[in-house]
């Protein structure tokens, strides 16, 4: 009979029985707390969060068990999903069971095909529009700038919106929604929607802005297909071929578009932000990357045909997502039945935490984990990384649906940024402190100077 409780910190105190200490530490400094738990207590750690039994999984093999071989014993925790559902609706991101299976079955083939190329092409155009507005020695709040860039890119690619003022409205609503959702997911108390200024009221306001715009975009596209299909076309064209043969209703298409917009923009923005930072700190890598970009594409905008000529760019992005995984923790899982992981029984209702942040900095998988070394991701070296050790896009049935697409888009957008500008930390900007919100971003943003490399 497996043991019930893995090692972990004390969960009781003399005065009031249960302890709120761990919940407080997790809430106030999740990166240090999760790292400390793994280093101190090992591959499976137990702690109590309020009245919930929490299990933190820190070994690649066990991560694989939770997300792949025993995935049927877990669902994504319902409260967090509820917050996302409040704006996005029932989508592949927020559902479980047969509804999720159907949506995933329909959308996966479409999203693994060429959608990334289109996203990338649109992204490159938006990079050009953005950098056209900069001048030599431009000071930037990098995360805010990259987030805005991705909001605009995804607004066009996912919702087919080209009108600048409408994109700005959508981007504003989505950014308000993201902040409010982050606050809801991470806060203990949830104020109702009628409470002025509450995050719930912000979410509802964002939904009221987004819904009519997205509905109009869907209606328009149904009536008038475009000659250059984008992600909205992928959604509207997806059919459940091995099931009922039907496609998505307008309502379902809206839910998918909004949740993908939500899932995709801040993660991709965080990747660009941290990559620019890491390059600024690692001149040898930066030099080699510039040489690849200059030698392969020169001054013209990168296109999907260039991807094969930019292998080092991809390695740089992957290594950046290792050191700063945008999804620093996976969605919290809840056991739906007792299940054995690593010799311990996780009871029904038990919470399971998997932190890419912890796994990606584990010396057993990545020696000298803080060294920025894109050589870890040459094809030969990458093959030696254990499954479950590197999970920027998750693993198993719920792994990121847009992961491949996001990689392609970033693989084109990063060279487009670096063709023209070189980035260094602004004077007075200290080392950025990673802040784990929905994705990981520099606390109080990060100021960098963009210096012109070449006149366009």
- Tell which one of 344, 390, 393, 421 touches ligand HEM (CB under 6 A): 393
User: Any contact of residue 436 with ligand HEM (CB under 6 A)?
Assistant: no
User: Any contact of residue 213 with ligand HEM (CB under 6 A)?
Assistant: no
For residue 194 the two structure tokens come to 């009628």
User: Any contact of residue 116 with ligand HEM (CB under 6 A)?
Assistant: no
User: Any contact of residue 255 with ligand HEM (CB under 6 A)?
Assistant: no
User: Any contact of residue 432 with ligand HEM (CB under 6 A)?
Assistant: no
Looking at 38-46, 238-246, 401-409, 416-424, which segment touches ligand HEM (CB under 6 A)?
401-409
User: Any contact of residue 185 with ligand HEM (CB under 6 A)?
Assistant: no
Minimum CB distance to ligand HEM, residue 260 (Å):
4
- Tell which one of 110, 258, 346, 401 touches ligand HEM (CB under 6 A): 401
User: Any contact of residue 235 with ligand HEM (CB under 6 A)?
Assistant: no
Nearest C-alpha neighbor of 74 from the set 300, 451, 340, 400: 340
Q: For residue 446, what are the CA distances in angstroms to 144, 274, 438, 441?
A: 9, 10, 17, 9
User: Any contact of residue 73 with ligand HEM (CB under 6 A)?
Assistant: no
User: Any contact of residue 151 with ligand HEM (CB under 6 A)?
Assistant: no
User: Any contact of residue 327 with ligand HEM (CB under 6 A)?
Assistant: yes
Positions in 262-301 near ligand HEM (CB under 6 A): 263-264, 267-268, 271
User: Any contact of residue 404 with ligand HEM (CB under 6 A)?
Assistant: no
Minimum CB distance to ligand HEM, residue 44 (Å):
18
User: Any contact of residue 309 with ligand HEM (CB under 6 A)?
Assistant: no
User: Any contact of residue 446 with ligand HEM (CB under 6 A)?
Assistant: no
91 vs 199 by CB, closer to ligand HEM: 91
User: Any contact of residue 353 with ligand HEM (CB under 6 A)?
Assistant: no
What value does the CA radius of gyration of the chain take, rounded to a whole number of Å? 22
- Tell which one of 104, 117, 125, 309 touches ligand HEM (CB under 6 A): 104
User: Any contact of residue 92 with ligand HEM (CB under 6 A)?
Assistant: yes
Q: Using CB positions, name the residue nearest to ligand HEM.
A: 402
Minimum CB distance to ligand HEM, residue 172 (Å):
20
Looking at 20-28, 175-183, 237-245, 403-411, which segment touches ligand HEM (CB under 6 A)?
403-411
User: Any contact of residue 37 with ligand HEM (CB under 6 A)?
Assistant: no
Minimum CB distance to ligand HEM, residue 320 (Å):
10
- Tell which one of 274, 324, 328, 331 touches ligand HEM (CB under 6 A): 331
Residue 38 Cα to chain centre, angstroms = 23
- Residues of the shown chain interacting with ligand HEM in the complex, contacts defined by CB under 6 A: 92-93, 104, 260, 263-264, 267-268, 271, 326-327, 330-331, 392-394, 398-403, 405-406
């Amino acid at each position: 009979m497996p043991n019930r409780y893995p090692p972990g910190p004390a969960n009781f105190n003399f005065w009031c029985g249960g302890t709120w200490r761990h919940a407080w530490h997790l809430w106030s400094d999740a990166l240090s707390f999760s790292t400390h738990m793994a280093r101190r207590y090992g591959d499976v750690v137990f702690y109590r969060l309020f009245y919930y039994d929490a299990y933190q999984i820190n070994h690649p093999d066990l991560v694989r068990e939770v997300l792949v071989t025993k995935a049927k014993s877990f669902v994504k925790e319902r409260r967090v999903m509820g917050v996302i559902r409040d704006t996005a609706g029932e989508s592949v991101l927020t559902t479980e069971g047969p509804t999720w299976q159907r949506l995933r079955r329909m959308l996966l083939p479409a999203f693994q095909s060429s959608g990334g190329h289109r996203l990338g092409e649109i992204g490159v155009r938006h990079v050009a529009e953005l950098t056209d507005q900069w001048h030599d020695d431009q000071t930037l709040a990098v995360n805010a700038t990259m987030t805005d860039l991705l909001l605009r890119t995804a607004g066009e690619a996912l919702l087919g919106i080209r009108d600048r003022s409408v994109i700005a409205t959508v981007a504003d609503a989505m950014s308000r929604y993201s902040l409010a959702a982050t606050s809801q997911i991470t806060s203990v108390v949830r104020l109702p929607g009628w409470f002025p200024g509450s995050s719930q009221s912000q979410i509802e306001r964002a939904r009221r802005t987004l819904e009519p715009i997205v509905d109009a975009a869907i209606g328009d596209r149904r009536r008038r297909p475009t000659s250059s299909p984008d992600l909205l076309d992928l959604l509207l064209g997806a059919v459940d071929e091995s099931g009922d043969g039907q496609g998505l209703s307008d309502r379902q298409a809206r839910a998918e578009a909004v949740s993908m917009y939500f899932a995709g923009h801040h993660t991709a923005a965080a990747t660009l932000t941290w990559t620019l930072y890491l390059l600024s700190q690692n001149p040898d890598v930066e030099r080699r990357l510039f040489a690849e970009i200059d030698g392969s594409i020169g001054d013209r905008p990168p296109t999907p045909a260039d991807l094969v000529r930019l292998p080092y760019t991809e390695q740089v992005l992957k290594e950046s997502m290792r050191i700063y995984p945008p999804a620093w923790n996976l969605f919290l899982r809840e056991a739906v039945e007792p299940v054995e992981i690593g010799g311990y029984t996780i009871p029904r209702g038990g919470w399971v935490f998997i932190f890419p942040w912890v796994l990606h900095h584990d010396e057993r998988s990545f020696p000298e984990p803080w060294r920025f070394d894109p050589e870890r991701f040459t094809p030969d070296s990458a093959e030696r990384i254990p499954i479950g050790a590197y999970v920027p896009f998750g693993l198993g049935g719920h792994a990121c649906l847009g992961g491949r697409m996001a990689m392609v888009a970033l693989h084109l957008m990063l060279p487009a940024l670096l063709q023209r500008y070189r980035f260094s930390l602004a004077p007075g900007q200290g080392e950025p402190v990673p802040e784990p919100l929905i994705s990981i971003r520099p606390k109080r943003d990060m100021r960098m100077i963009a210096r012109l490399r070449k006149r366009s």
